[in-house]
Homo-oligomer: A and B are copies of this chain.
Amino acid sequence: MSNLKERSLKLHKDNKGKIEIRTKVSVSTPEDLSLAYSPGVAEPCKAIQKDPEKAYEYTTKQNMVAVITDGTAVLGLGDIGPEAALPVMEGKAALFKEFAGVDAFPICLDTKDTEEIIRTCELLAPSFGGINLEDIKAPKCVEIERRLKKKLNIPVFHDDQHGTAIVTTAALLNSCKLTGQNIGDLSVVLSGTGAAGSSVARMLKAAGVKTIFAYNSKGVVTKAKYDRYDFVLQELIDEGIVSTPDSLKEDSLAELLKNKDVFVGVSIGNIVTRDMVKTMNPDPIIFALANPTPEISPDEAKKGGAKVIGTGRSDYPNQINNVLAFPGLFRGALDARASSITEKMKVEAAKAIASIVSDEDLSSDYVIPSPFNKRVAKVVSEAVLQCVKETLQGEQA
């Protein structure tokens, strides 16, 4: 690992960062300049002034996504500030380009104030075809995304919330196929009710799951603790997305897991044991996504009888990795000129990811495609594009 650390520092230093700006047109002769710059450039300017939609025809807006953070919840590092967040945002931009040909630019804001972050995104919108919010602390990130979705006519997407949720949903769809269970019959225990957890709950519900119980740092989520929860969790309860147990022998994750079908962890490492897995219903499905240390190690989970085990790690089967979702999702949204990213688009993206795994290949160790399967982004983008088209037709009909 120390070797990895040194090599990562060297990679970043030798390349002086991970992205650069390239020109798509030549500007090295007077002729070039008269077309790409003055005086010729006045023409696309005037065309866009008449009809702002033309920006999608004549500028990079049509393919440019802003990767915006305030550096308050970066990876496992927490609130490290905007400068220190830049390497992660550059990495994100590199993934956008590599996996889906999306031009993405990292913007690290020197403020933690919700109003300033929202206002700045509004002011930046003209140059961008979409906004990917990244590594912003919960619950602030939920309010920021929601209000921007209302204000802006370009897609706004907070990957930490929905990326994990989309890929987890895809993995669960295939797990049901494998176990022969109906997603509507599953009882799910969710550990972690922050940015990712709240979105996982909403997506699983949207995908058909009826029963989701939740657990967080305050213990089992119950109506009794309602006033101690942030607005995000309170909404999940109010909207009946998270169910609250009527009575529990004890306020523990162990107790909550008894006779449940699925565990989804987006919380902290080593909180689930093999004995707890043994108390779950037959063929339990375990997605332990805490990184780098999962809620339960795959080996432990297997010894507890888990049928399917997924983690966030690349060194175990079934890696639940956001990169399976966001590149294709934005590719499709940009290609469709979608004005926002809807719940339906996210569910279609999940189904598309799941569809990559053929019935023949489907197994306990393969319910989700590899993050490096280049087909994924293409299939996801096509599903999203199709979803937008059908929605528009529906509205016109």
> A residues bordering B, Cβ < 8 Å?
4-5, 7-9, 11-13, 15-25, 27-30, 33-49, 52, 55, 57-64, 74-77, 80-98, 103-111, 116, 119-120, 122-127, 291-292, 314, 371-372
Q: How far is the CB of A376 from chain B (nearest CB, A)?
A: 13
Report whether A108 and B127 are in contact in the complex, using a CB–CB cutoff of 8 Å: yes
Report whether B86 and A61 are in contact in the complex, using a CB–CB cutoff of 8 Å: yes
B residues near A30, Cβ cutoff 8 Å:
314, 371-372
Instruction: Name 15 A/B residue pairs within 8 A (Cβ), A-sorted.
Output: A8-B43, A13-B58, A16-B62, A21-B21, A21-B96, A21-B103, A22-B22, A36-B94, A39-B292, A41-B88, A45-B77, A48-B84, A49-B80, A60-B106, A108-B126
Q: How far is the CA of A37 from the CA of B18 in the complex (A)?
A: 10
Q: How far is the CA of A295 from the CA of B98 in the complex (A)?
A: 51
Q: How far is the CB of A374 from chain B (nearest CB, A)?
A: 9
Q: How far is the CB of A126 from chain B (nearest CB, A)?
A: 4
- Please give me the residue from chain B that is nearest to A61 by CB atom: B86
Report whether A17 and B21 are in contact in the complex, using a CB–CB cutoff of 8 Å: no
Q: How far is the CA of A86 from the CA of B8 in the complex (A)?
A: 35
Report whether B82 and A127 are in contact in the complex, using a CB–CB cutoff of 8 Å: yes
Contacting residue for A23 out of B16, B84, B94, B371, CB 8 A = B94
The 3 closest A-B pairs by CB, nearest first: A8-B40, A17-B60, A49-B84
Copy total for this chain:
2
Contacting residue for A126 out of B8, B9, B57, B86, CB 8 A = B86
B residues near A52, Cβ cutoff 8 Å:
81, 83-84
- Please give me the residue from chain B that is nearest to A2 by CB atom: B43
Given known pairs A36-B91, A91-B36, the reply for A97 and B21 (CB within 8 Å) is: yes
B residues near A91, Cβ cutoff 8 Å:
27, 36-38, 41
Given known pairs A61-B86, A127-B106, A314-B30, the reply for A8 and B23 (CB within 8 Å) is: no
Given known pairs A18-B24, A22-B97, A105-B105, the reply for A82 and B126 (CB within 8 Å) is: yes
Q: How far is the CA of A23 from the CA of B95 in the complex (A)?
A: 9
Q: How far is the CB of A330 from chain B (nearest CB, A)?
A: 13
Report whether A87 and B21 are in contact in the complex, using a CB–CB cutoff of 8 Å: no
Q: How far is the CA of A380 from the CA of B298 in the complex (A)?
A: 60
Q: How far is the CA of A12 from the CA of B111 in the complex (A)?
A: 35
Report whether B90 and A17 are in contact in the complex, using a CB–CB cutoff of 8 Å: no
Report whether A90 and B60 are in contact in the complex, using a CB–CB cutoff of 8 Å: yes
Q: How far is the CA of A44 from the CA of B37 in the complex (A)?
A: 38
Q: How far is the CA of A75 from the CA of B40 in the complex (A)?
A: 11
B residues near A22, Cβ cutoff 8 Å:
19-22, 97
Given known pairs A8-B44, A36-B11, the reply for A123 and B98 (CB within 8 Å) is: no
Report whether A18 and B107 are in contact in the complex, using a CB–CB cutoff of 8 Å: no
Report whether B123 and A38 are in contact in the complex, using a CB–CB cutoff of 8 Å: no
Given known pairs A19-B22, A22-B19, A41-B87, the reply for A58 and B9 (CB within 8 Å) is: yes
Contacting residue for A24 out of B19, B23, B371, CB 8 A = B19
Q: How far is the CB of A396 from chain B (nearest CB, A)?
A: 26
- Please give me the residue from chain B that is nearest to A57 by CB atom: B13
Q: How far is the CA of A104 from the CA of B21 in the complex (A)?
A: 7
Q: How far is the CA of A22 from the CA of B127 in the complex (A)?
A: 18
Q: How far is the CB of A391 from chain B (nearest CB, A)?
A: 25
B residues near A34, Cβ cutoff 8 Å:
4, 8, 314
